[in-house]
Structure 1
Amino acid sequence: MLEIYKKLPRTNCGKCGVPTCMAFALKVQSAQLRIDACPYVTKENRELDTPKPAVTMEDNYDRVSSELEAEAKRTNFKEAAIATGGHFATGKDGEMIKLTMLNKPYEMRKEGLFENDAYCSDSWSKIIIYDYIRRKGNKPFTGNWVTLGYFPHTASHVKAFQRSAEEKVAAAFNNKMNGLKTRCKELGGRETQGKMKQTISANLTSYPGYPYICASGMRMKSLRPVASFF
């Protein structure tokens, strides 16, 4: 808004229909008015009226995955494969790390992450696997169950996780306990007794060398899945 304001005469003449130039700049910034509604704006400054695309959460995920991809590509693949429990291989595409996440096979190549021999387009999967590879799974486990919000810098992600994961699982399996059990088994999960109050508790292996994800449900007559890590 201030950049737009600097391009205006700043005389508060009111000929644009707005009392002040500052208020006019705000309306231009919020796309309520065009900048050429000011009779004194120069031709060169009318380009400010071209709206810039809004930054979405998916844009942010893409940015983070691109940054992590650059780091993961610089990793020693052989060392990372050993540290993470993946399989190191070489082929026509060069060095690669083969691993599975929730029973889905992936290949980390120098060109990035591939799924079924095609470049992976899912930002969430890329962020998780790139971060795992670049860290080489070297953070020691505490042995305690903790929720997502326990980890540093995750407060802003808890609601996104609930919206993108928990709520979708709840909508799909509410009052369908057998369906939830079946889906957990399809993902390689096994029923277990958790330390939290739940009707269903299943351990799901995310990828080699990584601890389990615990999914539990049916609290207070409504499905409320909880993903926890240790």
Structure 2
Amino acid sequence: MTQKPSNKPKARIGTRIRGQMAAAYEARGETAGDLYLHFSSKMKMDVVLSGRLSYLHFLLVERDPGVDQVDYAPSGRLATLMGKEPAELVDAEIKTTAGEVVWRRLIDKEADDTEAVRDLREAIGKGALRGVNRLEVLTFKQLVAEDTWTRNTHRALAWIAAARSHPLSQPKQDILALLKTGRAVSFQDCLELGAGQAQALYGAAVLQMALNGAVQSDLGVAPLTARTRFTARREGH
């Protein structure tokens, strides 16, 4: 069914953010974990993340070209499938570019061999869970293993979020054309493809391409600066 476009003006971003955070705090109840509201480049929407581990996992997923889709808060939806208690063991659900459905559990420390987790592993792939391929358990240590990439992803997503209301197709085409020369180009080179305020769109475009694997960069080994290097994606990478 086709929905008619509304004539009502859209709420300003600040108003929408306040409303989303108020709803998230209300849904959180009395738990004490911090809430983060951030724009997901992968999902092209704002997502609410509960706690430090969820935010670190968000930064990992947003730079993983092997992730096609993600649900950062699936427990409410999964509760109808298998009950509230086992659903609360699943902190995120991802669908890979290979078509696999993977559940992620996020924990502070290494030990997680509880009976509930063992039962969940045993149930995956069977009955109502036959569409799920596996459960992955990620620890805090694993989530911060790529510290430079993590910090740069945080900064890159801020650029991308600021450009969320603007099309980036032309900046991406211009950057790819520049990369076809075969040489490495700097972040500053990419910015200078635009004029005035449009430079920010070129910055967002190249960073989004670096996160989704469309171009290669040194963001995993060096802080994001004007000298950050980007190269064309090589076959097999």
TM-score, scaled relative to structure 2: 0.22
| Higher-Rg member (1/2) | 1
TM-score, scaled relative to structure 1: 0.22
